Chain A
Amino acid sequence: MNKFWIVLFHTYLMKLKTKSFLITTAVMLLLVIGLSNITKIIALFDDSEEKVGVIDQTGTMFGDVQLGMKAIDEDVELIELKTEEEAEKLIDSEKLTAYLMIKSDEQEIIKGTYKANTLADTTVSSELAVVLSQLKTKIIANELQLTDKQIAALHSPVVLDTVAFEENAKTEEELNQARGLVYIILFIIYMAVIMYSNMIAMEVATEKTSRVMEILISSVSPVQQMFAKILGIALLSLTQMLLFFGGGYWSIKRNLSDMNEGVFSFMGFGSTSMSTIVYAIIFTLLGYFLYATLAACLGSVVSRIEDVQQTITPMIMLVVAAFMLAMFGLNNPSATYITVTSFIPFFAPMIMFLRVGMLDVPFWEISLSIGLLVASIVILAVFGARVYKGGVLMYGSAKSLKNIRKALQLTKKD
């Protein structure tokens, strides 16, 4: 077998077998499954019924309030009481969590007072407020002798239609849907780039400090070695991603088995955003290769594992900056600074993806951005391979920039 593949599969299999990888994957998978079942989990812990006392001083409204409350939240039971003393006694003995007093006077048709030991949980009080205002509307409507049709008309909000002049531009509704999806994918790109490029830098530095590099490099060329490693980790990341998506898909599908729309439309993966998914894959991969190459090159110039974090910090900063820009850009994707940064290679994977996901970007702009990105990956790879070859044989202090220069000098003659 070709040496390139030996290194690639060695990197992949050995990393796959490490405890830290297995544990991280298991924890993340649990998290994904947990998040997709979050409503069920909350319901599991929140099954206790709450009892709320009601002192109806008007004497006519308790029935309506009880009916209204039942429609909103079945877990809250309303009990009619006569006096405040009685209510306070019941609260003291923890038979009630709160009580509501309903009054009616000249100015206000309904006036409610909600009393409880703590006001930390606002669920019940706001539900009661909704019930009371509905009741108020109903009473007024009755006094004015309005018809049901008139009431419905009163309630209906004004529809503001938004129309974009550009052809194919996304509608407001589509944009909102896209925003969610783009947000999730941006976050995935961000996590993947940081996690896996960190892994590569560590891997290279470990081989260097354990001096395995001297043996490896005499049998496999540094360029082959570097790319075999980058691809090996890429394979690892794909395995991990597939597990997460697979786990998430399975668990959501189980929850929504009775829904007609299916999983994809629930997550905003409608047919219109299929191109978004394709671009997401393209930009994730390109972003990964760009940063992984840089990480391998930085990892090769450090002499001690402890120096790895320090050396790759500037690179992480770049990733964070790109992510922050993308987050700001989510609300205003057509801003000039977003357009400009979408062509800068280190930002492009996130920012161009943001634009593609949110706007209708001309194809030449996308190609230009991808072209620039690919070109800089190639340049960085050529440069990185030279630094790598010199760097792996160099031991000394952790002054990265100086080290990169020295590493280049070491290979200059070749």
Chain B
Amino acid sequence: MVLHVHNVTKSFGDYTAVNELDFTIPEQEMFGLLGANGAGKTTTFRMIIGLLRPTKGEITWKGQQIDQSMSSLIGYLPEERGLYPKLKVSEQLLYFARLRGMSKADANKEMDVWLERFKVPEYKNKRVEELSKGNQQKIQLISSVLHKPKLLILDEPFSGLDPVNVEMLKEAVIDLRNQGTTIVFSSHRMEHVEELCENLCILQKGSPVVAGHLKDIKRSFGKKNVVVHADFNLDFLETFSGVTKVKTTMEGKVLQVVDETVAEKMLQALVPRGFVRKFELQEPSLNDIFIEKVGAAYE
């Protein structure tokens, strides 16, 4: 275990932003931290990089408390753009890299490789304010990985990007993990988390509501989805016993069922009524779990 967040609580006055958060991340892994807006993700990140100190508990990296002296090991991509609008891309990247202990020559070499990789070498001498939001995000990501950190914190890395760029950045992040970087990231896009993370934690008003391995979380959630497309009226399924949620789509219905046996009975009831064009039993998506866990607490 490399990064250890041990029973961390952070309060600002009476307000508790993070409550009893506890997780560990092994080396070379990507960990997803999810949560609604204001759930305490950014506060957690700020504690990990040492900007804020936990009120209770501790955060360690390879058994050591994280502080300023470890800044060359850590890369941080803040949720909002953190770049000087008036500076040139190259000046900017060089400054950040040198602050994290990189030499001028290395930073310049590395910078060219990354700009080339993200297909934006022509922006090297442009000012940041002239770039589009998506391109600024690329520069921001470069600034957080240029010094080859061992621990990379990405707060909403894919926001504001088109699908092509999302893929490009995702590949880069996966490569970094394969090269040995431990990555913690947050996103509102559940499909990104499902695709990238093995372990995750969902925060709800500062407290973890779901945590663990993605497969285990799905399994323990129990509920599954049944997709039914048929030529006849499906309204009777809404009152079928064992159905917890119904969504009507253009072609049929998506039903959430408590377990597989309900689906079996459902199929038996459907067949005598006519032609069923589609009947599929699906694993619950992370999106469903998130809405269920976080949404329930809202109600």
Chain A 369-414 residues near chain B, CB threshold 8 A: 393, 409-410, 413-414
Chain A, interface size: which category? 20 to 34
- Assess whether A217 is interfacial by the CB under 8 Å rule: yes
**Is the Cβ of B76 less than 8 Å from the Cβ of A218?**
yes
- Assess whether A14 is interfacial by the CB under 8 Å rule: yes
Q: Which residues of B contact A216 (CB under 8 A)?
A: 99
- Assess whether B12 is interfacial by the CB under 8 Å rule: yes
Chain A 196-214 residues near chain B, CB threshold 8 A: 206-207, 210-214
Per-position contact with A for B81-113: 1 when CB-CB < 8 Å, else 0?
111111100010001101110000000000000
Q: Which residues of B contact A7 (CB under 8 A)?
A: 99
Q: Which residue of B lies closest to A389 (CB)?
A: B51
Give Cα A3 to B68, complex, Å: 11
Chain A 208-249 residues near chain B, CB threshold 8 A: 210-221
**Is the Cβ of A409 less than 8 Å from the Cβ of B13?**
yes
**Is the Cβ of B98 less than 8 Å from the Cβ of A414?**
no
- Assess whether B50 is interfacial by the CB under 8 Å rule: yes
- Assess whether B44 is interfacial by the CB under 8 Å rule: no
Q: Which residue of B lies closest to A224 (CB)?
A: B68
Q: Assuming the A-B contacts A14-B91, A413-B53, are A210 and B82 also in contact, with contact meaning beta carbons closer than 8 angstroms in the complex? A: yes
Give Cα A213 to B78, complex, Å: 10
> Among the listed B50, B81, B82, B144, which residue makes an inter-chain contact with A213, where contact means beta carbons less than 8 Å apart?
B82
**Is the Cβ of B82 less than 8 Å from the Cβ of A218?**
no
> Among the listed B12, B71, B76, B99, which residue makes an inter-chain contact with A214, where contact means beta carbons less than 8 Å apart?
B76
Give Cα A7 to B95, complex, Å: 8
**Is the Cβ of A212 less than 8 Å from the Cβ of B83?**
yes
**Is the Cβ of B12 less than 8 Å from the Cβ of A410?**
yes
**Is the Cβ of A10 less than 8 Å from the Cβ of B95?**
yes
Give Cα A315 to B46, complex, Å: 32
Chain A 7-50 residues near chain B, CB threshold 8 A: 7, 10, 14, 18
**Is the Cβ of B84 less than 8 Å from the Cβ of A219?**
no
Q: Which residues of A contact B85 (CB under 8 A)?
A: 210
- Assess whether A278 is interfacial by the CB under 8 Å rule: no
**Is the Cβ of A218 less than 8 Å from the Cβ of B51?**
yes
Q: Which residue of A lies closest to B144 (CB)?
A: A215
**Is the Cβ of A218 less than 8 Å from the Cβ of B53?**
no
- Assess whether B52 is interfacial by the CB under 8 Å rule: yes
- Assess whether A324 is interfacial by the CB under 8 Å rule: no
> Among the listed A6, A210, A211, A413, which residue makes an inter-chain contact with B98, where contact means beta carbons less than 8 Å apart?
A6
Q: Which residues of A contact B49 (CB under 8 A)?
A: 218
How many A-B residue pairs have C-beta atoms within 8 angstroms? Tell me: 65
Q: Which residues of B contact A144 (CB under 8 A)?
A: none
**Is the Cβ of A212 less than 8 Å from the Cβ of B84?**
yes
> Among the listed B86, B91, B143, which residue makes an inter-chain contact with A215, where contact means beta carbons less than 8 Å apart?
B143
- Assess whether B282 is interfacial by the CB under 8 Å rule: no
**Is the Cβ of B84 less than 8 Å from the Cβ of A210?**
yes
> Among the listed A211, A219, A414, which residue makes an inter-chain contact with B99, where contact means beta carbons less than 8 Å apart?
A219
Give Cα A217 to B52, complex, Å: 11
**Is the Cβ of A219 less than 8 Å from the Cβ of B82?**
no
**Is the Cβ of A393 less than 8 Å from the Cβ of B46?**
yes
Q: Assuming the A-B contacts A14-B87, A210-B84, A413-B53, are A1 and B98 also in contact, with contact meaning beta carbons closer than 8 angstroms in the complex? A: yes
**Is the Cβ of B53 less than 8 Å from the Cβ of A215?**
no
**Is the Cβ of A211 less than 8 Å from the Cβ of B68?**
no
> Among the listed B55, B68, B84, which residue makes an inter-chain contact with A413, where contact means beta carbons less than 8 Å apart?
B55
A87: min CB distance to chain B, Å? 67
Q: Assuming the A-B contacts A210-B82, A214-B82, A410-B12, are A220 and B99 also in contact, with contact meaning beta carbons closer than 8 angstroms in the complex? A: yes
Give Cα A393 to B53, complex, Å: 13
Q: Which residues of A contact B46 (CB under 8 A)?
A: 214, 393
Q: Which residue of A lies closest to B11 (CB)?
A: A413
A396: min CB distance to chain B, Å? 12
B107: min CB distance to chain A, Å? 12
**Is the Cβ of B82 less than 8 Å from the Cβ of A211?**
yes
Q: Which residue of B lies closest to A19 (CB)?
A: B86
B43: min CB distance to chain A, Å? 10
> Among the listed B51, B81, B144, which residue makes an inter-chain contact with A210, where contact means beta carbons less than 8 Å apart?
B81
Q: Assuming the A-B contacts A212-B83, A393-B46, A414-B53, are A219 and B78 also in contact, with contact meaning beta carbons closer than 8 angstroms in the complex? A: no
- Assess whether B142 is interfacial by the CB under 8 Å rule: no
B157: min CB distance to chain A, Å? 14
A134: min CB distance to chain B, Å? 66
The 10 closest A-B pairs by CB, nearest first: A219-B71, A211-B82, A218-B49, A219-B99, A214-B78, A215-B82, A211-B80, A212-B82, A6-B98, A219-B100
- Further contacts, 20 of them, CB under 8 A, given A218-B74, A220-B68: A3-B99, A6-B95, A6-B99, A7-B99, A14-B91, A207-B84, A210-B81, A210-B83, A211-B80, A214-B46, A215-B143, A215-B144, A218-B49, A219-B72, A219-B96, A220-B99, A221-B68, A393-B51, A409-B13, A414-B53
Binding site for B on A (CB under 8 A): 1, 3, 6-7, 10, 14, 18, 206-207, 210-221, 393, 409-410, 413-414
CB<8 Å pairs between A and B, sample of 20? A1-B98, A210-B81, A210-B83, A212-B82, A212-B83, A213-B82, A214-B82, A215-B76, A215-B96, A215-B143, A216-B99, A218-B68, A218-B74, A219-B72, A219-B99, A220-B71, A221-B68, A393-B52, A410-B12, A414-B53
